[in-house]
């Protein structure tokens, strides 16, 4: 009698699978294609429980698609540039490349042992020159299209990592990576013009609403931040006698009669341009303080208001009044137009400011039940009757008021209705070493000059022994041999851009590179993109909600407009998986509650680990490792495996004459599993397989017996279903059942309709108390359905023809009595 030895199974099957390569994409000519993608890992250390969870979940669907007959693309690669690798390398005093590639090898080996159905022939690493050559190429394409540009502006600065950060990388005022408080610096940096697609990125979310499971769609909506409102023009009278038109963005143009002063962002260029000479010094000293505050603090309502009177006035376009113009930090330089019309009566921040500096407050909306903000210093934001607003008095509500004032502004040339988005352009340059160099050369004569395509990639120099510690300037700037080049245009002396690209640039298009990962002539094949794209299912964490998942959408739209792909959204369906926690808490070093994946694999084996993770909860929920039982999983797998050894019929035997009860259970399990997988209830699939194993065991021991064909059918079905989560055990079962490897190439069983109908009962149909018909109906039939079925029965119909049915008494599911 054989014993179930997990380690033995792993050692036995892995080399066979590696030879058979059952998961190579493109092998099923003519079959419908499916693209399954899981977020590729950063190569920091070995795989952890999180990787084990995501890939186990993801593999359920990928393997299911193979069994269903699709041609599946399920690739894997490494997001191998970036700060985590670089910081770890610095700490260990190693080269980032050496450290990175050693980790990649470790992780690849672990994934292979873990039995995930990846197509290994498509493996890529974003830090390979073969890859980043095309990252640079795409950068240049975006540059050509006007979607990449350089500008000087106040940017987020991480004082710890000594590099700039994108807005998306600042979380509650802190660096997304290291938690340091982010400050502002005026720097010249590279940007992608994500704002050019703000509207499409926002509206496109509607098409993803139903297929992106979880919070991400809403998070992106909030991040892109659509606001309907108006641009209103104010003329500012400058101290030299001239005027300057300044536009503000407001969501409440209907409160324009109550705009009693104007505030511009202290750090916007505009403030310095319009300031009266005698106020310039005050503005300058105020600015020094402003630069130290984070955006979050600046916008906080409960913060004491500070500011500087700029010594000039603006004309309110509807009242004609001269209103003072101030500079303050609660207005942000890079939102809207960087200037606001302050309506203190109806905006609390304006009101606090008015109170602090004794500026006039004028109520223009009388909100029923609310006190007058002129007296209470509590701003009212609601709907109400317009007051102090000659042209709006009598207008019914806010929406009509806004509409009416916009019409007036447009007619008089003082403004227009507009939609504003909170989304900013993506700051992509980094002052760090381990990234793709920006392929631009700066020439004193020709300015910015793109590196010619045939000179790509701009390779990262090795910088042996160089100090990579962050200093605020890219370490590449010191690599003089690399930096100093001749200008491709004029041949004169020029320098390379020494910044590298944010790693999120690398990951914004990796799903396209997987389509033709070894192609040396192009970034990706547009034809393959048409065939395979967009990604049918994407699994990953929602920590990337407004980062990677937004950037990839932007790249997709930009590359579409450049003509390289013909779809609008990269990921048709998306699911954020939950986290693996322990004892109710996030696993962490300080809590000492970390669970080491390699220990778990050592103790319970791959299959039990995978099964435990899939069975623990619905994919989007957290898994508490303290609540699960990998030992129980081992026991179950052993039970399943034993079934295969007990079957005594021959492979290929017809199942038709098998025990009907067991066949019903088998077919129902398959039919249900299909629905459950389609709705991502993978945990319930496992539960159903457990039930099928129990039913089969019972049939063998005390039912139809091991020779019944239904037992073989059930055991084969168990093997096939189990291959989605426990491939080693399933493969072994498949072999013991007399089949050639691999179970991954087996066909998904087709549930037979006649085995899916529920058991039936006989309903008696009487006419005036005499039995006239018998019907086979479902035990759960409703009264109405049973009555309809009775009246439709041919013999009943004939019997009551020409008579009036006076009453029908129904006792579902057994009796119908018709009174004529």
Q: State which of residues 41, 115, 204, 338 lies at the interface with ligand ANZ (CB under 6 A).
A: 338
* Residue 301 beta carbon to ligand ANZ: minimum distance, rounded to whole angstroms: 11
Q: Based on CB atoms, which residue is closest to ligand ANZ, 364 or 781?
A: 364
Q: Which two tokens stand for residue 431?
A: 């002052």
Q: Based on CB atoms, which residue is closest to ligand ANZ, 370 or 478?
A: 370
CA distances from 178 to 181, 183, 489, 581 (A): 9, 14, 41, 21
Task: Determine contact, residues 552/511, Cβ cutoff 8 Å.
Answer: yes
205-239 in b/e form (b: 16+ CB < 10 A) is beebeeebbbebbebbeebbeeeebbbbbbebbbe
Q: State which of residues 55, 110, 250, 666 lies at the interface with ligand ANZ (CB under 6 A).
A: 250
Q: Rounded CA gap, 198 and 421, in Å?
A: 7
- Footprint on residues 344-383 left by ligand ANZ (CB under 6 A): 346-347
- Binding status of residue 37 toward ligand ANZ by CB under 6 A: no
- Collect all residues with Cβ–Cβ distance below 8 Å to 252 and sequence separation of at least 6: 229, 343, 346, 347, 398, 402
- Binding status of residue 331 toward ligand ANZ by CB under 6 A: yes
Q: Based on CB atoms, which residue is closest to ligand ANZ, 153 or 420?
A: 420
Q: State which of residues 252, 363, 642, 736 lies at the interface with ligand ANZ (CB under 6 A).
A: 252
* Residue 152 beta carbon to ligand ANZ: minimum distance, rounded to whole angstroms: 19
Q: What are phi and psi of 418, to 5 degrees?
A: -155, 165
Q: Per CB under 6 A, which region of 248-256, 269-277, 628-636, 740-748 contacts ligand ANZ?
A: 248-256
Phi-psi label, residue 358: left if phi above 0, alpha if psi -120 to 50, beta otherwise: left
- Binding status of residue 54 toward ligand ANZ by CB under 6 A: no
- Footprint on residues 103-162 left by ligand ANZ (CB under 6 A): none
Q: State which of residues 332, 463, 764, 791 lies at the interface with ligand ANZ (CB under 6 A).
A: 332
- Footprint on residues 385-424 left by ligand ANZ (CB under 6 A): 420
Angle between helix axes 630-646 and 709-722 (nearest 10 degrees) is: 140
CA distances from 477 to 165, 467, 499 (A): 19, 12, 8
- Footprint on residues 254-273 left by ligand ANZ (CB under 6 A): 255, 265
Q: Based on CB atoms, which residue is closest to ligand ANZ, 205 or 611?
A: 205
Q: Per CB under 6 A, which region of 336-344, 386-394, 499-507, 673-681 contacts ligand ANZ?
A: 336-344
Task: Determine contact, residues 368/337, Cβ cutoff 8 Å.
Answer: no
Q: Based on CB atoms, which residue is closest to ligand ANZ, 272 or 332?
A: 332
Q: Based on CB atoms, which residue is closest to ligand ANZ, 62 or 201?
A: 201
Angle between helix axes 49-67 and 597-615 (nearest 10 degrees) is: 50
* Residue 356 beta carbon to ligand ANZ: minimum distance, rounded to whole angstroms: 16
Q: Rounded CA gap, 766 and 759, in Å?
A: 23
- Binding status of residue 340 toward ligand ANZ by CB under 6 A: yes
Task: Determine contact, residues 625/595, Cβ cutoff 8 Å.
Answer: yes
Q: State which of residues 271, 343, 616, 699 lies at the interface with ligand ANZ (CB under 6 A).
A: 343
Q: Rounded CA gap, 582 and 626, in Å?
A: 5
* Residue 124 beta carbon to ligand ANZ: minimum distance, rounded to whole angstroms: 40
- Binding status of residue 612 toward ligand ANZ by CB under 6 A: no
**What is the CB-side half-sphere exposure of residue 763 using CA atoms within 13 A?**
28
- Binding status of residue 384 toward ligand ANZ by CB under 6 A: no
Taking residues 199 to 228 in sequence order and writing x for each that binds ligand ANZ by CB under 6 A, - otherwise, the string is: ----------------------------x-
Q: Which two tokens stand for residue 549?
A: 């998942």
* Residue 399 beta carbon to ligand ANZ: minimum distance, rounded to whole angstroms: 14
589 is in an annotated binding site: yes
Q: Based on CB atoms, which residue is closest to ligand ANZ, 167 or 729?
A: 167
* Residue 329 beta carbon to ligand ANZ: minimum distance, rounded to whole angstroms: 10
Q: Per CB under 6 A, which region of 12-20, 135-143, 332-340, 681-689 contacts ligand ANZ?
A: 332-340
Q: Per CB under 6 A, which region of 137-145, 302-310, 343-351, 591-599 contacts ligand ANZ?
A: 343-351
Q: Based on CB atoms, which residue is closest to ligand ANZ, 55 or 420?
A: 420
Q: Rounded CA gap, 77 and 9, in Å?
A: 27
Q: Based on CB atoms, which residue is closest to ligand ANZ, 104 or 379?
A: 379
What 225-228 contacts at long range (C-beta under 8 Å, 24+ apart), as own/partner pairs, is 225/421, 225/422, 225/423, 226/198, 226/202, 226/419, 226/420, 226/421, 226/422, 227/251, 227/419, 227/420, 227/421, 227/422, 228/417, 228/419
- Binding status of residue 249 toward ligand ANZ by CB under 6 A: yes
Q: Rounded CA gap, 183 and 267, in Å?
A: 14
Please name the helix (run of DSSP H) or strand (run of DSSP E) that holds residue 346, with its range, or none: none
Q: Based on CB atoms, which residue is closest to ligand ANZ, 310 or 449?
A: 310
Q: Residue numbers of the site for ligand ANZ (CB under 6 A)?
A: 227, 249-252, 255, 265, 331-332, 335-336, 338, 340-341, 343, 346-347, 420
Which segments are annotated as binding site for ATP? 589
Residue numbers belonging to the annotated binding site: 589
């Amino acid at each position: 009698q054989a014993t179930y030895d997990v380690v033995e199974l792993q050692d036995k099957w892995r080399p066979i699978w590696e030879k058979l390569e059952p998961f190579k994409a493109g092998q099923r000519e003519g079959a419908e294609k499916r693209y399954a993608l899981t977020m590729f890992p950063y190569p920091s250390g070995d795989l952890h429980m999180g990787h084990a969870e995501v890939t186990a979940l993801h593999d359920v669907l990928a393997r299911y698609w193979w069994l269903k007959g699709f041609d599946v693309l399920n690739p894997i690669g490494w997001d191998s540039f970036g700060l985590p690798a670089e910081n770890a390398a610095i700490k260990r005093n190693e080269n980032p490349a050496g450290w990175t590639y050693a980790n990649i090898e470790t992780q690849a080996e672990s994934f292979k042992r873990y039995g995930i159905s990846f197509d290994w022939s498509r493996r890529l690493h974003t830090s390979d020159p073969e890859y980043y050559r095309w990252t640079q190429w795409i950068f240049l394409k975006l540059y050509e299209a006007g979607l990449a540009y350089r500008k000087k502006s106040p940017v987020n600065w991480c004082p710890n990592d000594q590099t700039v950060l994108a807005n998306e990388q600042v979380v509650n005022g802190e660096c997304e990576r290291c938690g340091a408080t982010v400050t502002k610096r005026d720097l010249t940096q590279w940007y992608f013009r994500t704002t050019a697609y703000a509207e499409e990125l926002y509206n496109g979310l509607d098409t993803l609403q139903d297929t992106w499971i979880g919070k991400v769609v809403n998070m992106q909506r909030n991040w892109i931040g659509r606001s309907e409102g108006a641009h209103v023009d104010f003329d500012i009278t400058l101290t030299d006698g001239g005027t300057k038109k300044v536009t503000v963005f407001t969501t409440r143009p209907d409160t324009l009669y109550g705009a009693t002063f104007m505030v511009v962002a202290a750090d916007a260029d505009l403030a310095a341009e319009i300031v009266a000479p005698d106020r310039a010094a005050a503005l300058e000293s105020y600015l020094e303080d402003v630069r130290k505050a984070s955006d979050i603090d600046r916008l906080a309502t409960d913060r004491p208001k500070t500011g500087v009177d700029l010594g000039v006035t603006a004309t309110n376009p509807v009242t004609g009044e001269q209103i003072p113009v101030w500079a303050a930090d609660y207005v942000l330089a890079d939102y809207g137009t960087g200037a606001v019309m302050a309506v203190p009566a109806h905006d609390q921040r304006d009101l606090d400011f008015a109170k602090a500096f004794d500026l006039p407050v004028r109520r223009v909306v009388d909100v029923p039940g609310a006190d007058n903000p002129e007296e209470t210093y509590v701003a009212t934001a609601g709907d109400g009757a317009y007051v102090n607003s000659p042209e709006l008095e009598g207008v019914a509500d806010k929406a009509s008021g806004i509409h009416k004032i916009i019409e007036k502004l447009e007619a008089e040339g003082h403004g227009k209705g507009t939609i504003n988005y909170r989304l900013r352009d993506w700051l992509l340059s980094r002052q760090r070493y381990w990234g793709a160099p920006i392929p631009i050369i700066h020439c004193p004569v020709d300015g910015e000059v793109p590196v010619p395509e045939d000179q790509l990639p701009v390779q990262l120099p090795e910088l042996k022994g160089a100090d990579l510690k962050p200093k605020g300037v890219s370490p590449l700037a010191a690599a003089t041999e690399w930096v100093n080049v001749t200008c491709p245009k004029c041949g004169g002396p020029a320098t390379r851009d020494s910044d590298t690209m944010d790693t999120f640039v690398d990951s914004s298009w990796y799903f396209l590179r997987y389509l033709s990962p070894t192609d040396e002539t192009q970034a990706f094949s547009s034809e393959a993109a048409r065939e395979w794209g967009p990604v049918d299912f994407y699994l990953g964490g929602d920590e990337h909600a407004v980062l990677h998942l937004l950037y990839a959408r932007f790249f997709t739209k930009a590359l579409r407009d450049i003509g390289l792909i013909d779809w609008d959204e990269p990921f048709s369906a998306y699911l954020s998986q939950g986290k693996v926690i322990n004892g109710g808490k996030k696993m962490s070093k300080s809590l000492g509650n970390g669970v080491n994946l390699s220990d778990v694999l050592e103790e319970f084996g791959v299959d039990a680990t995978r099964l435990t993770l899939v069975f623990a909860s619905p994919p989007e929920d957290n898994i508490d490792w303290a609540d699960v039982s990998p030992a129980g999983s081992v026991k179950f797998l052993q039970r399943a495996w034993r079934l295969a050894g007990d079957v005594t019929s021959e492979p290929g035997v017809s199942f038709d004459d098998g025990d009907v009860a067991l066949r019903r259970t088998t077919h129902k399990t398959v039919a249900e599993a299909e629905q459950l997988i389609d709705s991502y209830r993978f945990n319930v699939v496992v539960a159903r397989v457990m039930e099928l194993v129990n039913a089969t065991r019972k049939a063998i021991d005390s039912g139809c017996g091991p020779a019944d064909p239904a037992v073989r059918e059930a055991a084969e079905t168990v093997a096939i279903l189990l291959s989605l989560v426990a491939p080693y055990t399933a493969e072994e079962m498949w072999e013991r059942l007399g089949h050639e490897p691999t179970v991954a190439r087996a066909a998904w069983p087709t549930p037979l309709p006649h085995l899916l109908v529920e058991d039936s009962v006989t309903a008696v149909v009487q006419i005036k108390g005499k039995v006239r018909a018998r019907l086979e109906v479902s035990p759960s039939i409703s009264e109405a359905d049973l009555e309809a079925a009775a009246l439709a029965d041919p013999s009943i119909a004939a019997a009551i023809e020409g008579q009036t049915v006076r009453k029908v008494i129904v006792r579902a599911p057994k009796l119908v009595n018709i009174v004529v």
